[in-house]
Amino acid sequence: MDERWERSILAVPASEPRKVEKAVASQADAVFLDLEDAVPPDLKDTARAHAARALRELDWGGKTRMVRINGLDTPWAYRDLVEVCEAAGAQLDCVIVPKVSRPEELTFVDILLAQIEARVGLRRRIGIHALVETAAGLARVEQLATASPRLQALSFGPGDFAASAGIPSSAIGTEDQWDVVYPGHRWHYPMMRVVVAARAAGLRAFDGPAAEFRDLEAFRRLCRVARSLGFDGKWCIHPAQIPVVHEVFAPTEEEVEWARKVVTAYEQAQLAGRGALTVDGKMVDAASLRMAQATLARARS
C-alpha cells in the first residue's frame, strides 16, 4: 500500500470541461474523470481528449489523479487506455476499471498499461482501482483483489450492483423504502466482502456514490455506515458531499485521545511485564494497541 490515504473521491464527467476544472480545484482528496456512465456514447471520443488535456494542463494541487475507463465488454475500453495514457500517462496516478467481473479483465489492463508505459517511457507505474459492482465480480472478489500488482484499491458500486443482482433500488446508493423492509442493513454483505477482500490483499476500500446529493444528513448516515464497516472513504458526485466525507472518515479528537492513552498505558504496562491492563475501566491488550496504532496512523495521514 502506498502512503496516499484518500477519504473523498470526486466523480466528474470528462466530457464537461467546466465541471472538470471545478472538480480539480475542489477540496477532494482524489478526482476521477469519468469516461464511462456519465458520458453518452457519442461523446466518448471527445471525452478522452478532454481527459488527457485536463491531466496535462490543470493544476491538480496534490490530488490523486484518476480516470474511469469504460467496461471491458464495451468497444471503448482499450481506446480509453491507449489514448489517455499515451497522451497523459505521466500525469495519471491510476485508472478505475468498472464492472470488473473476472480477474482476466485486470490482467488485460495490466498488460496493456505495461506496453503503453514502455512505449512512452513512463518511469512511474500507473495504478489500478477496481470497481466491484456486478454479482459476478462480488462472487470472485478475492481473485480480483490479487489479480495485478498495480491494484491499489477496491470500490463497491451500489447502483450497478443492485441492477446486476436484481435488488430493487430507486436511486444509486440512496436509502429508500426497501431499506426498512430488510431486518438489518441490506448492503452489509457486499460491502463487508469488498472490505475484507481489499484488506486481505493489502488494498484500500471505498464505498461508491450516493445519487441523492441534496440531503446531506442522509449522506452522512451512509458515510458513517461505510466507516463503521472499515471503508477508507467514499465517492462523491457533488462537491457539497466532500466535507461530509472528510469529517466522517477522519478519526475524531476523542478517538485520537483514546488511542494515545491506550498506547502510553500499554507501553508502561509492558515495561512492568504485563500484557493486559485496564484503561478507564476497559481491558487493553496487544489487539487494543493495534487498533490504537491504526487510529493514530490514520490521524497522521
Binding map of ligand COA across residues 188-227, x = CB under 6 A, - = no contact = ---------------------x------------------
Burial tier of 146 (Cβ tally within 10 Å: 0-12, 13-18, 19+): middle
Which grid coordinates belong to 14? 470528462
**Spatial distance between the Cα atoms of 219 and 87, rounded to a whole number of angstroms:** 36
Does residue 95 interact with ligand COA by CB under 6 A? no
CB of 13 to Mg ion, least distance (A): 13
The site partner of 157 among ligand COA, Mg ion, none (C-beta below 5 to 8 Å per kind) is Mg ion
CB of 208 to Mg ion, least distance (A): 7
Task: Give the footprint of Mg ion on this chain (CB under 5 A).
Answer: 133, 157, 160
* Coil/strand/helix, residue 97: strand
User: Is residue 173 a contact point for ligand COA (CB under 6 A)?
Assistant: no
Instruction: In whole angstroms, give the CA distance from residue 267 to residue 131.
Output: 41
State the nearest-atom distance from the C-beta of 20 to ligand COA, in Å. Answer: 7
Question: Which residue's C-beta sits nearest to Mg ion?
Answer: 160
Distance of closest approach, residue 214 Cβ to Mg ion, in angstroms: 21
CB atoms within 10 A of CB 225: 18
Report which of 214, 226, 193 is spatially closest to residue 7, judged by C-alpha positions.
226
Instruction: Please name the amino acid found at residue 70.
Output: N
- Who's near 238: CB < 8 A, 6+ residues apart? 213
Taking CB under 6 A as the rule, does residue 292 contact ligand COA?
no
Stretch that binds ligand COA, among 144-152, 175-183, 190-198, 231-239 (CB under 6 A): 231-239
Q: Which one of Mg ion, ligand COA, none is in contact with 190 (Cβ closer than 5 to 8 A by kind)?
A: none
Name the packing angle between helices 103-120 and 77-88 (round to 10°).
30
The contact mask relative to ligand COA for 27-46 (x = CB under 6 A, - = no) is -------x--xx--------
- Are residues 207 and 156 in contact, defined by beta-carbon separation less than 8 angstroms? yes
Q: Which stretch binds ligand COA (CB under 6 A): 121-129, 141-149, 221-229, 235-243?
A: 235-243
